Amino acid sequence: MSQAIKEVMDQVTSRNPHEPEFLQAVKEVLESLQPVLEKHPEFIEAGILERIVEPERQIIFRVPWVDDQGKVRVNRGYRVQFNSAIGPYKGGIRFHPSVTLGTIKFLGFEQIFKNSLTGLPIGGGKGGSDFDPRGKSQGEVMRFCQSFMTELYRYIGADIDVPAGDIGVGAREIGYFYGQYKRITTLFEGVLTGKGLTWGGSLARPEATGYGTVYFLEEMLKARGESLQDKSIAISGYGNVGTFFIQKANQCGAKVITIGDENGYVYDPDGIKDEKLDFLMDLWVVHRRPAKDLADKFGLQWVSGKRPWEVACDIAVPTATQNELDLENAKQLLSNGCTCVAEAANMPCTAEAVNLFLEKQILFGPAKAVNAGGVATSALEMTQNSMRYSWTFEEVDTKLKSIMGNIYRNASQAAQDYGLEGNLVAGANIAGFLKVAQAMLAQGVV
């Protein structure tokens, strides 16, 4: 680590105690930037590093609501507006009891580089709350979302900050947010993405993160002269990303053999397809039921209390959440013959796991690149809203596919340009950083 990078890392560490996820995300990016700074000392002189690790604005607010028993409840809401150098802040909102400011900062920081990689004009931001949507009634969720937006509306706008969904926030919650935003501001504008199709949503947005992950995987494999045909894939989370990932992976001839939740995983050596996949598609989004229902319904093996990374597979795709795949899991995957890992969730592999994969030179796709299809399609939703027009599914899907191809090529080219051929972690960080850093440089000290 160079002196300049070390100084910034030390300052971030002392300024953000008790935020291990944020520090993990910052460290990974800063470590990748060493060769860039050697070539571009002007970034150091202009204080780009010190500025890029400090959010432009962090909003923390009270979210009071009344539950079905008439009891007053209070949660904490966050919106971190991290970087607007290349476009309005853009990033999802996460509802999960584990959410802290540090979680939202790590996600917002990652989002800066991911959004830059898409090639579209979107800055980085993220929001959320420690609200737990599990076990809440529809009315409770609606009142919570309305309360959340009653505070958030004053900080966002179609050209200011455009939130979307993330864990715990799907089409239903986006609908409640949108209704409340419109009621308060009277504006019918593209202030949120992931909207319903009848009120400004984009075709292929629900599919985009999962499909985009498959498109990226195909690019990675192609570079090694392989394809997804007949590959066995282990995945984890059964939410929006995981389910649409399976749908597209099946179309490419692959077999997805695991899926689960925080309680365990389903093992299906025949591959999750046909009526099993149909059942799974509705399991969380419609019924909000646990993953074990899939095993119970079709007589499949359910492995309780374990992560799926212990099964033999060609490819592992963590689709759940941060740090869900650690060093032990990584070793086990490698010893079982896994030769490719693609991060569909945000920062799902621990730093130690990532380093092992890089050291062993298996194909490794980092989250910022692999899962960028979701936010890229959100940006396409913004474009359609600005035009007051909608594209067909095929039009959006074709653009998504070409964006994922470009991300792969830009990340691998950047890695090569800076002497790190084959290292997509460094390549994605460098390619994402360069565009933002150049824009910050041009815009002066702000």
Q: Which range in 27-35, 64-72, 84-92, 306-314 contacts ligand 2IT by CB under 6 A?
A: 84-92
Nearest distance, CB of residue 219 and ligand 2IT, angstroms: 19
Q: Is 90 in the site for ligand 2IT (CB under 6 A)?
A: yes
Task: List the interface residues with ligand 2IT, window 374-433 (CB under 6 A).
Answer: 374-375, 378
Residues with Cβ within 8 Å of 6's Cβ and at least 6 positions away in sequence, in order, are none
What gap in Å lies between CA 436 and CA 446, rounded to an integer?
13
Nearest distance, CB of residue 68 and ligand 2IT, angstroms: 29
Q: Which two tokens stand for residue 260?
A: 């689960």
Q: Is 80 in the site for ligand 2IT (CB under 6 A)?
A: no
Backbone angles phi, psi at 82, to 5 degrees: -85, -50
User: Of residues 105, 126, 136, 292, which has the active-site annotation?
Assistant: 126
Task: List the interface residues with ligand 2IT, window 284-303 (CB under 6 A).
Answer: none
Q: Which range in 2-10, 21-29, 51-59, 372-380 contacts ligand 2IT by CB under 6 A?
A: 372-380
What gap in Å lies between CA 143 and CA 3, rounded to an integer?
50
Looking at residue 166, its amino acid is D
Q: Is 128 in the site for ligand 2IT (CB under 6 A)?
A: no
Looking at residue 167, its amino acid is I
Nearest distance, CB of residue 429 and ligand 2IT, angstroms: 16
Residues with Cβ within 8 Å of 222's Cβ and at least 6 positions away in sequence, in order, are none
Q: Is 119 in the site for ligand 2IT (CB under 6 A)?
A: no
Q: Which residue is nearest to ligand 2IT (CB)?
A: 92
Q: Is 92 in the site for ligand 2IT (CB under 6 A)?
A: yes
Q: How many amino acids of this chain bind ligand 2IT (CB under 6 A)? A: 10
Nearest distance, CB of residue 317 and ligand 2IT, angstroms: 15
In this structure, the chain runs to a length of 446
What gap in Å lies between CA 302 and CA 225, rounded to an integer?
35
The answer to whether 4 touches 35, Cβ cutoff 8 Å, is no
Task: List the interface residues with ligand 2IT, window 186-225 (CB under 6 A).
Answer: 193
Task: Name the residue nearer to ligand 2IT (CB basis): 168 or 264.
Answer: 168
HSE, side-chain direction, 13 A CA sphere, residue 405: 7
Q: Which range in 147-155, 181-189, 229-237, 371-379 contacts ligand 2IT by CB under 6 A?
A: 371-379
Q: Which range in 46-54, 89-97, 140-148, 418-426 contacts ligand 2IT by CB under 6 A?
A: 89-97
Task: List the interface residues with ligand 2IT, window 159-178 (CB under 6 A).
Answer: 164, 166
Angle between helices 424-442 and 393-417 (to 10 degrees): 90
Nearest distance, CB of residue 211 and ligand 2IT, angstroms: 14
CA dist list (Å): 212 to 282, 346, 381, 401: 21, 14, 15, 7
Task: Name the residue nearer to ligand 2IT (CB basis): 90 or 231.
Answer: 90
Nearest distance, CB of residue 193 and ligand 2IT, angstroms: 5
Q: Which range in 86-94, 96-104, 298-306, 418-426 contacts ligand 2IT by CB under 6 A?
A: 86-94
Task: Name the residue nearer to ligand 2IT (CB basis): 92 or 237.
Answer: 92
Nearest distance, CB of residue 203 and ligand 2IT, angstroms: 15
Which listed residue (321, 346, 410, 423) binds ligand 2IT by CB under 6 A? 346
Q: Could you confirm whether 71 is annotated as catalytic?
A: no
Name which of 330, 397, 427, 435 is nearest 52 in CA terms.
435
Residues with Cβ within 8 Å of 68's Cβ and at least 6 positions away in sequence, in order, are 137, 139, 140
Nearest distance, CB of residue 347 and ligand 2IT, angstroms: 10
Task: Name the residue nearer to ligand 2IT (CB basis): 36 or 403.
Answer: 403
Active site (catalytic) residues? 126
Task: Name the residues that contact ligand 2IT, by CB under 6 A.
Answer: 90-92, 164, 166, 193, 346, 374-375, 378
